[in-house]
Amino acid sequence: MHCEPPLLAVCGTRPEVVKMAPVIRALRARGQAVLLVMTGQHPDLAPQMLRELGLSADIDLGAHQAGAPPAQIMASILMRLAPVFAAWQPRLALVQGDTVSALAGALAAAYARVPVAHVEAGLRTHDMAEPFPEEMHRAMIVPATALHFAPTETAAQALMREGVAAARIHITGNSGIDALHATADRLDADPELSEELTVRHPYVVRPRYPLLLATIHRRENIGRRLGAIAAALARLAAFCEAEIVLPLHPNPAVQAVLRDKLDGLDAVHLIPPVDHMTMVWMMRQARLLVTDSGGLQEEAPGLGLRTLVLRQATERPEALAAGASELVELQADSIVSAVRRTLLRGPMHPVFPFGDGRAGERIADVLETWLADASAVGRMAEVGG
């Protein structure tokens, strides 16, 4: 039985669950009491991921509001988090990444004078519009944070340029790579899982043309950019240059454009959102990934999968430097040309610019030492420098 107050891990979206799970497991394995607080930001996708990873929410805030703007979602989460912090008096709050839930968790902790540990700290594009509002969230989380867990040296340097003391920054690798290794190991250990996925998605293992896996969901791509992306995919499919598998994001604005341009094309498979295991399995089969996702930019290099990034800028330049990914101009002709050019290239050997799969252990090691230090009490005074 734990006598000390717990740690609170605040999550709201599917990627947060994927990347926080290795940290929670590592902390619990060390005997730390960790309460997982789910905000409800992704009410369908996040619970699906919890089930897949064998986790459950200790507290579910139910703050989802369909179609609400970020400010309204933020207010809803903050109002529900305040009494949670008051009731539990946690020793530390953990937040991950750059979502509304992450910023709300950091702010609620700061208001309650609870230290914050930020997992995946220091990612920057240096353009507040790319991605929006995530780049802004990252900057706003910094002043509330006591411990910054940077996935790479580049991320750590970005924090130091912003004035964060080096002693507060710990380079750990990205915990998403921990999750990737765990999922790949499960697939390798149980051939029946791959067999089940093959039955469910036969077009993935027996494509008629080079298999292109696509995901599109970014807020800043909705509008003209999304139309250009869809037009490019339609052209590639119509001329039988690629077999395209596209799990659809739940956002109706995204679905409407993609269905309008791609429904009915024989070489396009528009499918519901898939779980992490299915996505990793699909990436293993694919010749090329075309995406605006941040997490997939991290995972694909380790699977030897070349990636075309549908963004104006990326906060993950390490994959670009490794030759594993390429930023593509968001015009239909440019996207088509990039796909054709990349499909002509030979196989890519796996590379791991984002870590070795032990980030969760490193984060837990740092936190265990920090929490055991008697001076950790009252450390809110240190936050922000």
Same domain, 159 and 215: no
Q: Which residues pair with 180 in a beta bridge?
A: none
Same domain, 20 and 95: yes
User: What gap in Å lies between CA 284 and CA 304, rounded to an integer?
Assistant: 8
pLDDT at 376: 46
**Residue 2, in any domain of the structure:** no
Does 40 or 2 have the greater pLDDT score?
40
- Using DSSP's 3-state secondary structure scheme, residue 155 falls into helix
**Residue 59, in any domain of the structure:** yes
Q: Which residues pair with 246 in a beta bridge?
A: 270
Contact 109, 85 (CB under 8 A): yes
pLDDT band for position 377 (cuts 50, 70, 90): low
Same domain, 107 and 213: no
Same domain, 166 and 301: no
Same domain, 127 and 226: no
**Residue 140, in any domain of the structure:** yes
Give the range among 65-69, 173-177, 253-257, 275-279 with minimum mean pLDDT: 65-69
What mean pLDDT is reported for the chain? 94
User: What gap in Å lies between CA 41 and CA 73, rounded to an integer?
Assistant: 8
The Cα-based distances of 154 to 1, 108, 123, 141, 315 in angstroms read 41, 28, 8, 18, 10
User: What gap in Å lies between CA 166 and CA 110, rounded to an integer?
Assistant: 21
- Residue 102 — left, alpha, or beta (φ > 0 → left; ψ -120 to 50 → alpha)? alpha
Burial class of residue 47 in the structure, from the number of CB atoms within 10 Å of its CB (0-12 exposed, 13-18 middle, 19+ buried): middle
User: What gap in Å lies between CA 76 and CA 61, rounded to an integer?
Assistant: 9
Contact 371, 146 (CB under 8 A): no
Residue with the two structure tokens 């706003």: 140
Contact 150, 142 (CB under 8 A): no
Same domain, 246 and 169: no
Same domain, 11 and 148: yes
User: What gap in Å lies between CA 235 and CA 230, rounded to an integer?
Assistant: 9
The Cα-based distances of 300 to 38, 51, 245 in angstroms read 27, 23, 16
Residue 291 DSSP code: E
User: What gap in Å lies between CA 36 and CA 55, rounded to an integer?
Assistant: 9
pLDDT band for position 47 (cuts 50, 70, 90): confident
Same domain, 317 and 248: yes
- Mean pLDDT across the stretch 223-243? 96
pLDDT at 310: 98
pLDDT at 45: 76
Candidates 12, 4, 166; CA nearest to 78 is 12
Q: Count how many domains the chain has.
A: 2
**Residue 273, in any domain of the structure:** yes
**Residue 181, in any domain of the structure:** no
Residue 256 CB neighbour total at 10 angstroms: 12
Task: Indicate whether 380 pLDDT > 90.
Answer: no
pLDDT at 374: 43
Same domain, 217 and 278: yes
**Residue 223, in any domain of the structure:** yes
Same domain, 249 and 322: yes
**Residue 200, in any domain of the structure:** yes
Residue-wise pLDDT tens digits, 20-34: 999 999 999 999 999
pLDDT at 382: 53
Same domain, 31 and 129: yes
**Residue 180, in any domain of the structure:** no
Same domain, 117 and 62: yes
Residue-wise pLDDT tens digits, 102-133: 999 999 999 999 999 999 999 999 999 999 99
The DSSP H or E segment spanning 307 is: strand 306-309
Residue 202 makes CB contacts below 8 A (sequence gap 6+) with none
Does 378 or 315 have the greater pLDDT score?
315
Q: 164 is in which domain, residue-wise?
A: 7-173+358-382
- Mean pLDDT across the stretch 189-209? 96
Task: Indicate whether 305 pLDDT > 60.
Answer: yes
CATH number of 92's domain: 3.40.50.2000
User: What gap in Å lies between CA 209 and CA 20, rounded to an integer?
Assistant: 37
User: What gap in Å lies between CA 1 and CA 58, rounded to an integer?
Assistant: 16
Residue-wise pLDDT tens digits, 321-357: 999 999 999 999 999 999 999 999 988 999 999 999 9
Residue 13 DSSP code: S
Residue 4 CB neighbour total at 10 angstroms: 10
- Mean pLDDT across the stretch 276-287? 97
Reduced 3-state DSSP string for 110-127: HHCCCCEEEECCCCCCCC
User: What gap in Å lies between CA 279 and CA 302, rounded to an integer?
Assistant: 14
Token pair recorded at residue 89: 């008096």
pLDDT at 243: 97
User: What gap in Å lies between CA 61 and CA 97, rounded to an integer?
Assistant: 19
As annotated, the active-site residues are 98, 120, 134, 217, 219, 249
Task: Indicate whether 227 pLDDT > 80.
Answer: yes
